[in-house]
Amino acid sequence: MTNGGFNGEGVYAIYRFEMARALRTLWQSLVTPVITTALYFVVFGAAIGSRMTDMDGISFGAFIVPGLTLLSVFMQSIFNASFGIYFPKFTGTIYELLSAPISSLETVLAYVGAAVTKSMVLALVTLATATLFVDVRVEHPLLMLMFLFLITTAFCLLGFVIGIWAQNFEQLQIIPMLIVTPLTFLGGAFYSISALAEPWRTVTLFNPVVYLISGFRWTFFGVADVPVWASVAVMLAIIAACLTAIIWVFRTGYRLKQ
């Protein structure tokens, strides 16, 4: 160890490895998700956007940009981070990670750090693409980046947990497909929840994704469905829950060691 306490070389090695993997699969990791999201912008923004009513005084095309960007970010964060740790488990190369002088925190930092980097790039490219089709403004750019960073961190941590838990490719896809997508569609990606009638409005407030989308959208347009502090609290809670799960996994060796 170059520096007794922290295996920086090890973290960097994993980070580089993960980034190299993303570059090798650029179509899958960046181009495809950006095009998919851009299709929504084309349809709802440029094509039929003018026929939709404004939401909270914002044109519909622009209104959906933060939510749809997040949908893509949720999915890719989970896929990226879960695949990063699942694949070595699947091929058996995890033996090297388990036998290396690297702590669990360093391992998480490396894998999740790489996944967060990829998700941030994806989000920014998606937002840049959106400006080609709809008129978006960002009222609080710095806060927007901070929100994005916390949200990608939360979902990359979640992805990491899923990657450790999953024992086959199907399980790897179940949570993003079956839980995250519906929660996002029902979480106000396409509408303001104030437009909902009771009891749906109250029910919707149990969906954590509502808080993420609302907070993120606030950094764009300055309007929110729920208080901004509540959005921050939910993000931090997800991060804390995932970190707790990961620490427990590494303590017990759950699904990593026999």
Partner 1 sequence: MTDAILSIRGLRKAYASGTEALKAVDLDIRRGEIFALLGPNGAGKTTLINIVCGIVTPSGGTVLVDGKDHLEDYRHARSRIGLVPQELTTDAFESVLSTVTFSRGLFGKRRDPAKIETLLKRLSLWDKRKAKMMELSGGMKRRVMIAKALSHEPDILFLDEPTAGVDVELRRDMWDIVRKLKSDGTTIILTTHYIEEAEEMADRVGVISRGELIAAEDKHVLMQKLGRKTLKLTLAEPMAEIPGELAEWNLELEDEGHILCYRFDTNAEKTGVPSLLRRVSDLGIGFKDLSTRQSSLEDIFVGLVHEERAK
Question: Which backbone phi and psi does 58 adopt, to 5 degrees?
Answer: -115, 140
Q: Please, what is the minimum distance in Å from the beta carbon of residue 102 to partner 1?
A: 7
Q: Does residue 19 interact with partner 1 by CB under 8 A?
A: no
CB–CB of 84/18 below 8 Å? yes
d(CA 206, CA 221): 24
- 54 Cβ partners below 8 Å, 6+ apart? 60, 63
Binding-site member from 28, 93, 202, 244 for partner 1 (CB under 8 A): 93
Binding map of partner 1 across residues 229-258, x = CB under 8 A, - = no contact: ------------------------x---xx
Q: Please, what is the minimum distance in Å from the beta carbon of residue 130 to partner 1?
A: 32
Q: Please, what is the minimum distance in Å from the beta carbon of residue 99 to partner 1?
A: 4
Give residues 24-63 in contact with partner 1 (rule: CB under 8 A).
24
| Stretch of residues binding partner 1 (CB under 8 A), selected from 4-12, 30-38, 42-50, 112-120 | 4-12
Binding map of partner 1 across residues 148-177, x = CB under 8 A, - = no contact: ------------------------------
Q: Which CB atom, from 27 or from 95, has the smaller least distance to partner 1? A: 95
CB–CB of 130/30 below 8 Å? no
Binding-site member from 35, 43, 50, 95 for partner 1 (CB under 8 A): 95
Q: Which CB atom, from 95 or from 185, has the smaller least distance to partner 1? A: 95
Minimal CA–CA distance to 162: which of 154, 151, 153, 173? 173
Q: Does residue 97 interact with partner 1 by CB under 8 A?
A: yes
- Tell me how far CA of residue 146 lies from CA of 111, 199, 235, in angstroms: 20, 33, 11
Q: Does residue 91 interact with partner 1 by CB under 8 A?
A: yes
Token couple for 224: 């929110």
Q: Does residue 96 interact with partner 1 by CB under 8 A?
A: yes
Token couple for 152: 């990608």
Q: Where are the alpha helices (DSSP H) in the chain?
A: 8-24, 26, 32-40, 60-91, 94-98, 104-133, 141-165, 169-175, 181-185, 200-204, 208-221, 228-252
Q: Which CB atom, from 141 or from 253, has the smaller least distance to partner 1? A: 253
Minimal CA–CA distance to 191: which of 204, 175, 206, 178? 204
Q: Which residues bind partner 1 (CB under 8 A)?
A: 1-2, 7, 9-10, 12-14, 16-17, 20-21, 24, 91-93, 95-103, 253, 257-258
